[in-house]
Structure 1
Amino acid sequence: MFDDLPEVVPVTVRELDTIQIHLGDLIDRLIADAASATDSNPLPPPTPKAHRGPGPRS
């Protein structure tokens, strides 16, 4: 994948936490599934996790 941005776009810790909260389980399962090619069972949908960390800013 390529982009035409003039420089590296910084990603904040809060943004990484958000990605982990919403996609962490799915990514972990996809990696585990790729590592064990003998498992042919489809992945179940990820279960939502409770939000960790500070709430919305006001």
Structure 2
Amino acid sequence: MARFKHLARKLRLAAAEKTNKPIPIWVSVKTRMRVRRGFRLRNWRRSKLKNI
């Protein structure tokens, strides 16, 4: 990717970076381990972002 990024693309990448975090521990404790991982977790090699 180019070094210079447009502001809109930079904001979308920052938002994707923030959402790519595991769920808090208290969520799995509260649901008694029914929810184990976040469904939005993404790896930069496995799946790419659309429309960026």
Normalising by structure 1, report the TM-score: 0.28
Normalised by the length of structure 2, the TM-score is 0.30
Q: Determine which structure has more spread, i.e. the larger CA radius of gyration.
A: 1
